[in-house]
Amino acid sequence: MFIQGDLQAVFDALYALGMIDPVLKMDWHVLNDEIVQNPNKMMSAIELVNECQGDPSQLIHKLNSVDEKTLSYLAMEVAREMADYYDCKNLH
């Protein structure tokens, strides 16, 4: 399952919650292994984000109710999807 809608809005919400900088400094191999062990947390977080349909205030409100570890997973996924998007965009 992928994050749908405005990735920039999700990124901005995670940034506002202070989740981007710490995740960029983490070992992503460890974080990825944790996601593999807890796929339901990741899927629930993506579903929650997709329900917001890119609404910045709703994103921040709903993400405030998510635990920090799950927000870390989500921040890493947003970074991956944004990188994939820009890779595809630059190839064309």
Quick: pLDDT tens for 62-85: 999 999 999 999 999 998 888 877
What pLDDT, on a 0 to 100 scale, did the predictor assign at position 76? Answer: 92
Quick: pLDDT tens for 23-65: 989 999 999 999 999 899 999 999 999 999 999 999 999 999 9
pLDDT at 18 over 70: yes
**If you search the block for the tokens 């339901």, which residue do you land on?**
40
- b/e sequence 25-36, b meaning 16+ C-beta within 10 Å: eeeeeebeeebe
Mean pLDDT confidence for 80-91 = 73
In angstroms, how far is the first alpha carbon of the chain from the final one?
24
- b/e sequence 39-64, b meaning 16+ C-beta within 10 Å: eebbeebbebbeebebeeebbbebbe
